[in-house]
Amino acid sequence: MDGCPLTIRPGVAAVILNSENEILLHLRPIGGGWAPPSGSMEPGETIVGALQRELVEETGLEVRVENLVAVYSDPAIQVVHYPDGRHIHFVTALFRCRVKKGNLKGSAEGVKWAWFPGNRMPENLLPYARVWIADALTENPRTLVK
């Protein structure tokens, strides 16, 4: 790393399914691949409160949380290197969610936003996105720590 210290931050993310069981992804400017929406918790928030806030801000959608999929901390996939030199190790709680109401508005957090069938993901998924989506689509959802 280039002299900037590695910091750690609590994060939230969602694999969001619509009524056709498609998954919402955005093409991230950082990393250059597709991933589910995610963000950071702010002081004073609950995990689900942070998730709901991030999703409304980024997508315009309100969701129903189905379950906690897993908590991810593996530095191999959870460290993000930002262009400004910051290096952040996210400890991310991933939730499986369903659209409750709203229309997709997609924020500047993504270069593009799109719904994808679960069996036809884009080729350039970010490494953490591959893990998150596979875990969220498992037939027997269970809470995991990874």
CATH of the domain at 15: 3.90.79.10
Contacts by 26-30 with C-beta closer than 8 Å and gap 24+? 26/58, 26/106, 26/109, 26/110, 26/111, 26/112, 26/113, 26/114, 27/110, 27/111, 27/112, 27/113, 28/109, 28/110, 28/111, 28/126, 29/110, 29/111, 30/80, 30/82, 30/83
The pLDDT, as a whole number, for residue 54 is 94
Does any domain span residue 46? yes
pTM of the model as a whole: 0.89
Q: pLDDT tens digit string along 92-128? A: 999 999 999 998 988 777 789 999 998 899 999 999 9
Full residue range of the structural domain in which residue 57 is found: 6-141
Lowest-pLDDT range of 45-54, 123-132, 134-143: 134-143
Does any domain span residue 1? no
Does any domain span residue 10? yes
Number of domains in the chain: 1
User: Which amino acid would we find at residue 86?
Assistant: R
Does any domain span residue 49? yes
Q: pLDDT tens digit string along 72-93? A: 999 888 888 888 888 889 899 9
Does any domain span residue 13? yes
Nearest to 47 by CA among 68, 18, 23, 26: 68
In angstroms, rounded to a whole number, what is the distance separating the alpha carbons of residues 82 and 101? 33
Does any domain span residue 74? yes
